[in-house]
Amino acid sequence: MPGGVDSPVRAFRAVGGHPPFVDHAAGAYLYDVDGNRYLDFFGSWGPMILGHAFPPAVEAIHQAAARGASFGASHAGEGDLAELVMRCFPSVERLRFTSSGTEACMSAVRLARGFTGRNFVIKFEGCYHGHSDAMLVKAGSGVATLGIPGSAGIPVETAQHTLALPYNDLGAVQAAFDAYQDANGVSQIACVIVEPVVGNAGTIAPAPGYLQGLRRLTAEHGALLILDEVMTGFRLSLGGAQQLYGITPDLTTLGKILGGGLPCGAFGGRADVMESLAPLGPVYQAGTLSGNPLAMAAGAATLRHLIEHQGAVYSGLEDTTAAIANGVAALAREAGVAMTTNRIGSMFTWFFTDQPVTDFASAATSDTQRFGRFHHAMMEAEVWLPPSQFEAAFVSTAHGPAEVERTLEAAKAALRA
């Protein structure tokens, strides 16, 4: 296995050291094969909002497995999860399940191109929409972590239709819409795809009015607005960032929490757009394991809990995450360590910079060497942060007062050191 991993950031290249080898996980903790117990702040990169091995999800997976792991045919589990998604996301009138967030985003972009008959796609620097060819231009996550401009193996002809603009800069979007018109003044831009709250360059909030501005500009030019809520969906609120900021997109992509830890994604939105998909329309999209019964069951058990306990879940996450993020920010001030703390709900990042972080360029002012040393010291104290300055940290409902205390103690020593 190249680098010993199935996904690059897991290899700890950006922070140094050797990643622990996980034996099992429960609640807020990862247990490695050497007998160490780590407090987990990456939650499988987002999915584990209710903690690891959440009993109702485990039970749902057991029951589904006994009925058959995959059918390759329609079944009621798909309808169950679809109904739960549509309760949370009123903008989703139709949806289709995939097996990953990458597929959801790749398919949503293809659908936008097919529906509009246009080629160009606007994305933003530092945003990650999975590893499909067209989306690996100035991408966040591992691409940002490893400091590579994109990826080898992608023809310029493929990348040339992806316009990567700075996040939080409406003027740049306006200028792109002005520039990309045909001789008759018809826009050539099929869609704008955005992480409404960025997580894959570290956590970055949208400036006031930014998402509203994207909504207005796309509507004016007949382009679709795709909110990539693979990370933020069910995390920032039950209805994701679109509920939090009051934005109605044309399409939404989901993943991570949606599958309760099993491989799952979805894209959905306006009925007229979604009905351009095969077999109803000309845009092809498929998947042998799409709508997998185990993934549907784990996702439904997770969403059902989030819906039934939404008040307690989201206010609890807010309080716990605020205590951790702000607590460490205060300790950094005491220790004289430059740190900018960005937090929205249960997503946060401690950037080792004295600049406000509002886009990828300002995130990149962070002292990544210093982040690496901090990460190492926290690992020594058995607190496992995401192994990159450019990845959001996550808190689960299994994190409580004991975990807050443990994190602050570890951070105090690490920041002093």
**Site for ligand PLP, rule CB under 6 A:** 100-102, 105, 128-130, 195, 199-200, 228, 230-231, 255, 265
Tell me, yes or no, if 29 is annotated catalytic.
no
By C-beta, is 141 or 188 nearer to ligand PLP?
Answer: 141
Query: Least separation, in Å, of the C-beta of 199 and ligand PLP?
Result: 6
Instruction: Tell me the two tokens of residue 103.
Output: 């597929």
Check: CB of residue 32 under 8 Å from CB of residue 14: no
Minimum distance between the CB of residue 100 and ligand PLP, rounded to whole angstroms? 4
Query: How far apart are CB 232 and ligand PLP at their closest, in Å?
Result: 7
Angle at 270 between CA 268 and CA 276, to 5 degrees: 80
Nearer to ligand PLP, 227 or 323 (CB): 227
Cα distance between residue 53 and residue 48, in whole Å: 9
Tell me the C-alpha to C-alpha distance, in Å, between residue 287 and each of 70, 98, 229, 252: 12, 7, 21, 19
Cα–Cα separations (whole angstroms), residue 20 to 24, 161, 285: 12, 40, 37
Q: Closest distance between ligand PLP and the C-beta of residue 269, in Å? A: 16
Tell me which of 38, 138, 250, 256 is the catalytic residue.
Answer: 256
228 counts as catalytic: yes
What's the sign of the alpha-carbon dihedral 182, 187, 190, 195?
Answer: positive
Least distance in Å: CB of 256 to ligand PLP? 6
* Element containing residue 241 per DSSP (H, E): helix 240-245
Give whichever of 232 and 368 is closer to ligand PLP, judged by the CB atom: 232
Greatest extent of the chain over all pairs of C-alpha atoms, in Å: 67
CA distance 401 to 403: 5
Nearer to ligand PLP among residue 8 and residue 337 (C-beta)? 8
Q: Exposed, middle or buried by CB within 10 Å (0-12, 13-18, 19+), for 33?
A: exposed
| Residue of this chain nearest to ligand PLP (CB atom) | 101
C-alpha 172/C-alpha 163 separation (Å) is: 11
CB of 6 to ligand PLP, least distance (A): 11
- Note if 250 is an active site residue: no
Q: Between residues 91 and 200, which has the closer beta carbon with respect to ligand PLP?
A: 200
Q: Which of 29, 128, 245, 314 is catalytic?
A: 128
> Whose structure tokens read 């807010």?
318
Task: Report the residue number, 260 or 265, with the smaller CB distance to ligand PLP.
Answer: 265
| CA distance between the termini of the chain | 35
Give CA separation, 73 vs 50, 291, 295, 296, in Å.
30, 9, 15, 13
Identify the active-site residue in 38, 123, 138, 228: 228
Nearer to ligand PLP, 8 or 372 (CB): 8
Distance in Å, CB of 227 to ligand PLP, minimum:
10
Measure the CA dihedral 326/329/331/337, to 10°: 180
Q: How many CA atoms lie within 13 A of 74 on its CB side?
A: 4
**Which residues does the annotation mark as catalytic?**
128, 228, 256
